[in-house]
Structure 1
Amino acid sequence: MAQAAFAPEPTPQHTEPSFDTLSRYRSAWTARAALDLLPENNGPRVEVLRGCVVVTPSPDFDRRTVLRELGYLLRQAVRRVDLWLYHEVNVVSGDDLFIPDIAVLKVPGGGRTTMDVAHAVLLGEIVSLGDRRKGVIDRPREYAAVGVPFFLRVDLRNRVPTIALFELSDGEYRPLAAAAAGSTFAMREPFEFSIDPAELLDEEEPAEGEG
């Protein structure tokens, strides 16, 4: 994960969104500036926090697998209670731009580029070895600070998936439910859902010497 912060100066004029802007832009970054000046992409995740651009590489195969499997199952659960689920979408909180792995929203996102964080019921992160601080410390703290009612974390340490659900209480997240692979994770709020976390990963591991 890389960060870049710059002293405020007049915003330069650009015609086409480009990642070259990251090296030329001299103002403090905002969500609006990033959305206007940087191109949409299917590669690195580009977020904005406290005036800094945060660039995260594309996720590994395990994280993509969990996102696919969990997203499919969660979507069915949230639609039963008239909520909406999306993967890796733009969630804006003031000048900050979050791109959570999972976003459960009160309203549909059809036709939108961004969603205000006030519409978020639950935000979720999939934690792997390379970004443990982000998923375990930083994002829960940031989501709690802006009032997101629930936080879901899937931890892939040692390829043994663990799911934990937290509810916001007095400005901090308190654990509601948790389970590791081989047991049942069950939640009742903000919607009912249950799963054995072991179901989220493809079983094969690379043979010795393979990438």
Structure 2
Amino acid sequence: MPAVASTRPFDPLIHLDGLWTLELAQRFLPIDGMPPTRYEAADGKLVMSPRDGSATSWAAFRLGFLLDEPARAAGHAVYSALDVRTDLKGWIEPDLVILRKPVRQQTWIEPDQVLCPVEIISPSSRRRDQIDKPIICARLGIPYFLHVDIRGDEVLVELLHLADGGHTTHAKALSGQRFEVSDPFPISFDPAVLLEPDSRTLQRLSFGRGARPLAIPRHAPRYGGALL
């Protein structure tokens, strides 16, 4: 008896499981009908996580602004929502990425272009954000990795530095303290500025004299733009 052909429609989440590559990602992502989602991959397995809420959006906005000027002064560039290639069957999408030099119209970022990924740790993917991604980046030789961990009214900022094949703590500070480093470029701020303000404190926030606030949309398209 002849085999009956399957009538199941093609579903990339099912039919490409374990087979994802950068080429397939460009062809099939984002997936139609899915809610706003961050797509990453490891060993051909698609890793999806929901877009986070207002706390992450605000922290990314503020941190991108704080990093932008000192990074540019050192010849670097801060981007949002870029895909960093980890191998032929994997990539990560940090909340922000500091590149060694600006790029133009580039879809996939190579590891040797990355100075420092920045991850706002998500409750839905805490292990991947805090443990797995730094390990991946250390294996790729990326010299720095910046964590922001928001828990209620407290925030921890921690900068990791590559040494002896792994990342070690270079600097860290809690809200109310001073996060201050000279490498990879000088920057100093109280992590509390990354917390969402209330209506009273919002009016007191300063972006710097004559500065124009920069939008860093958390729901940016997959291939985001530079903060230049």
Do both proteins adopt the same fold according to a TM-score greater than 0.5, normalized to the shorter chain? Answer: yes
Alignment counterpart, residue 66 of structure 2, candidates 66, 70, 73? 73
Tell me which residue corresponds to 1:64. 57
Tell me which residue corresponds to 1:151. 145
Tell me which residue corresponds to 2:192. 198
Counterpart check, 1:39 vs 2:30: yes
Flag the 1:76–1:27 CA change in 2: closer, same or farther, 3 A.
same
Take 2:125 and 2:28, find their aligned partners in 1: how far apart are those partners? 26
Query: 1:109 Cα deviation (Å)?
Result: 2.6
- Once the two structures are superposed, what CA deviation does each residue of 1:6-63 show, in whole Å capped at 9, x if it has no partner? xxxxxxxxxxxxx942233366111222122223899201111111000110111100
- Once the two structures are superposed, what CA deviation does each residue of 1:89-147 show, in whole Å capped at 9, x if it has no partner? 11112221110111111222321112111100111111133322122211111111111
Take 1:176 and 1:197, find their aligned partners in 2: how far apart are those partners? 16
Alignment counterpart, residue 15 of structure 2, candidates 24, 30, 48? 24
SS of the equivalent of 1:32 reads helix
Query: 1:65 Cα deviation (Å)?
Result: 0.5
- Give the structure, 1 or 2, with the largest relative contact order (CA under 8 Å, sep 6 or more): 2
Is the 2:160–2:168 contact (alpha carbons within 8 Å) kept by the matching residues of 1?
yes
Is the 2:85–2:108 contact (alpha carbons within 8 Å) kept by the matching residues of 1?
yes
Tell me whether 22-31 or 96-105 shows the greater mean CA deviation. Answer: 22-31
Instruction: Report the residue type matching 2:30 in the other structure.
Output: P
CA RMSD of the aligned region, Å?
2.1
Is the 1:31–1:48 contact (alpha carbons within 8 Å) kept by the matching residues of 2?
no
User: Percent same amino acid at aligned positions?
Assistant: 30
Is the 1:105–1:119 contact (alpha carbons within 8 Å) kept by the matching residues of 2?
yes
Tell me which residue corresponds to 1:165. 159
Take 1:145 and 1:101, find their aligned partners in 2: how far apart are those partners? 20
Tell me which residue corresponds to 1:51. 44
Take 1:116 and 1:189, find their aligned partners in 2: how far apart are those partners? 22
Take 1:181 and 1:117, find their aligned partners in 2: how far apart are those partners? 31
Task: Give me the TM-score of the superposition, normalised by structure 2.
Answer: 0.76
Task: Give me the TM-score of the superposition, normalised by structure 1.
Answer: 0.82
SS of the equivalent of 2:188 reads strand
Take 1:135 and 1:27, find their aligned partners in 2: how far apart are those partners? 21
SS of the equivalent of 2:152 reads helix
Is the 2:18–2:46 contact (alpha carbons within 8 Å) kept by the matching residues of 1?
no
Take 2:31 and 2:179, find their aligned partners in 1: how far apart are those partners? 35
Instruction: Report the residue type matching 1:82 in the other structure.
Output: G
Which structure has the larger Rg over C-alpha atoms? 2
How many corresponding residue pairs? 187
